[in-house]
Chain A
Amino acid sequence: MKRSLRLIQSIAGAVILCALWEVLGQTKVLGPSLPALSTVLGTLFAPNRAKLFTTAISATALSAALGLLIGGGSGALIAGARQTISWTRPGLDRFAALIHAIPQVAIAPVMVIVFGRAGSPIAVAAIAAFFPAYAASTRAFAAAAQSHQDLFTVLGSSRSARLLRLDLPAALPGLADALKLAAPGAVLGAVLGEWFGAPKGVGILILSSSQNYDIPLLWAGALVSTLMALVGFGVFAAVQNAATRRLT
């Protein structure tokens, strides 16, 4: 009941937002810099641009996915090490904070030098995905309650049985949560990483259209990057929901 009400509210909000955008664009209150939604969608679905967009989207999606795999994976792994070996904790936390504090625009050109123009988006996406994954995994691994740990101790559980039957199931929703939080970061990281001379991608689309003052294309690019981030978030949110329903 409450859930469906919220859904209706957010759908209504989105509809109002789109309508407002359309009206503002059509009436040209803000001049050509705010094109109407229909104009942007027209640009996005123009047949002669289909190839441009599919190429860009697939390039960015691939970079973001690889970055999520590398950054999110290492974030979860390091959080696992942190859980097992307690003395590493303060040092690893600080290291993760450093990675978190790296401004992506500042690291992207350096990544071009280290990993090449095509590798930079993946590297920046990985850096962007690392911290959210690390932080959420840390919470996830601490999720098994102390009473559960005690229970496994008094029942004489082996280490492997404890990991398999307690730590992992208890951490699963949290690990999905980690990927959910890391996914939008990976998409935006990939977009930023492309700005320094990647051969193709949504970031390049945004950058070149911004420099050429092709406003509808710029808005289309921005819309696409936002939608990609939302899709990434939504997919892992669904996984997390399923895991939580099954496991708690």
Chain B
Amino acid sequence: MKTSEAGAPRSAAIQLSGVNKRFAIRRKETLTALSNVSASIGHGEFIALLGPSGCGKSTLLRIISGLEDPTEGSVEVEGQPPARLIAEHRLGFAFQEHALLPWATVAENIALPFRLAKIRVDDARVRELVELVGLTGFENARPKQLSGGMRQRVAIARSLALRPDLLLLDEPFGALDEITRRRLNFELARIWAETGVTTVMVTHSVDEALLLADRVIVMGTRPGRILTEVEIDLPRPRTVESMATNRFAELSTQLVRLLDQDNNAKVKP
């Protein structure tokens, strides 16, 4: 169980207030990537940031992680700036392009967070993670010997190595084929259920969001902003059968319509 300071009123895990992000393109020209984004994410929640490309969902994730600073507005993770979380090595991050070190083995890659945090590598924990993502027997393989799906599993295992307080996933399965992607969705759901870590995942797949998230934050483009939030009240564990339910279809239609409306509004003058 995740605990905030005992007795204190339960604060949000992540608090975004009036976040704006602008990039300078050329002299005197800026691109507004995010406009007035505010959101509150609770402890142990699984949030999906859903939107078309260019809606700033990856930028928002990078701001939450502290990789980028907002132009205006504030981000607080556990009541502190994200940089604090990084300094304390309490953040897990999985990238779209697995970002495994090609010269290191599976086990060494999973152990990397220990080394960077200057903590003695917990071999038992590494073994446990290898097993968790179903790669037992591949500890000494190098990334290039693995399939795309296996690499992504290693990346997820690595992001969980130090039992982070916050897990950020930037389209972790975006580069995979549909079949592998679906399989890893179910596996991530299982892993998440076991760890219960607060998770924010960027995706542009409606199905992925529905299979994994407690709540979907739907984002729109030009400028990137939050359109609405949708609670996903599908019972867990979600399986292939869940996808055949009426509720799944309803939610799916609702999300598709929301994304579509935003798009049509832009096309019309």
Contacts and interface: CB of A to CB of B under 8 A. Distances in A.
Q: Do A and B share a direct contact in the complex (Cβ within 8 angstroms)?
A: yes
Given A145-B97, A151-B95, A248 B102 contact: yes
B103 A247 contact: yes
A156 B95 contact: no
A150 B95 contact: yes
A156 B118 CA distance: 10
B93 A148 contact: no
Contacts of A148: 99, 101
B117 A156 contact: yes
| 6 smallest beta-carbon distances between A and B, as pairs | A247-B103, A147-B99, A154-B93, A157-B116, A248-B102, A156-B86
A164 to B, nearest CB: 10
Main secondary structure of the interface of A (DSSP, over half): helix
A151 B86 CA distance: 11
Contacts of A246: 103
B116 A156 contact: yes
Contacts, number: 59
Interface in A127-169: 145, 147-148, 150-158, 161, 165-166, 169
A166 B101 contact: yes
A41 to B, nearest CB: 44
B67 A150 contact: yes
B65 A165 contact: no
Interface in B114-128: 115-117
Nearest to A161: B116
B178 interface: no
A154 B95 CA distance: 11
Contact of B66 (A154, A165, A247): A154
B122 to A, nearest CB: 15
A248 B99 contact: no
Contacts of A161: 115-116
A156 B88 contact: yes
B51 to A, nearest CB: 21
Contacts of A154: 65-67, 86, 91, 93, 168
A173 to B, nearest CB: 10
Interface residues of B, number: 24
Nearest to A150: B67
A156 B95 CA distance: 16
Contacts of A145: 97, 99
Interface of A: 145, 147-148, 150-158, 161, 165-166, 169, 246-248
A112 B62 CA distance: 57
30 contacts: A147-B95, A147-B96, A148-B99, A148-B101, A150-B67, A150-B93, A150-B99, A151-B93, A152-B116, A153-B66, A153-B86, A154-B65, A154-B86, A155-B91, A155-B112, A155-B113, A155-B116, A155-B117, A156-B86, A156-B87, A156-B88, A156-B89, A156-B117, A165-B101, A165-B112, A165-B115, A169-B101, A169-B103, A247-B103, A248-B102
Contacts of B88: 156
Nearest to B66: A154
B236 interface: no
A147 to B, nearest CB: 4
A18 B257 CA distance: 74
B116 A165 contact: yes
Contacts of B115: 161, 165
A145 B103 CA distance: 13
Contacts of A247: 102-103
A41 B168 CA distance: 68
B63 to A, nearest CB: 12
A156 B93 CA distance: 11
B145 to A, nearest CB: 12
A143 to B, nearest CB: 11
A83 B103 CA distance: 22
A64 B91 CA distance: 51
A154 B68 CA distance: 11
Interface in B57-96: 62, 65-67, 86-89, 91, 93, 95-96
